[in-house]
Amino acid sequence: NAGVTQTPKFRVLKTGQSMTLLCAQDMNHEYMYWYRQDPGMGLRLIHYSVGEGTTAKGEVPDGYNVSRLKKQNFLLGLESAAPSQTSVYFCASRTQTGNYGYTFGSGTRLTVV
């Protein structure tokens, strides 16, 4: 089925380790987003991209980097994981015009110990 796929679904990291979360969409959407969800805080925007080769900072970008080398993929990197980055991460995508509703992935649960 068409949609947004996030890998991995679960991960446990040790403090200081690095990792990359992958988001892939097959809907030819121009815009892609990474959010983190923490209890009582809703979803907070980390970084987003309005097209291949472009990225921009959201509300909480510190400690994260992103890349959008291909239109269908949006990677979120943690260079040196910290316990404060324990969260559920969601990727989303949408078209540039028209329907502004997002399509969300099912999330990645990350625990940093």
Site residues for another protein per CB under 8 A: 4, 31, 33, 35, 40-45, 48, 50, 58-59, 90, 92, 96-97, 99-102, 104-107
Q: What type of residue is 30?
A: E
Choice between 92 and 112, CB closer to another protein = 92
Choice between 69 and 99, CB closer to another protein = 99
The CB-of-32 to another protein minimum distance in angstroms stands at 11
Choice between 78 and 89, CB closer to another protein = 89
* Secondary structure E strands in 31-86: 31-37, 43-49, 56-57, 65-67, 73-78
Locate 93 and state its tokens.
Answer: 């995508």
The CB-of-98 to another protein minimum distance in angstroms stands at 10
Tell the burial category of 86 from Cβ atoms under 10 Å away from its Cβ (0-12, 13-18, 19+): middle
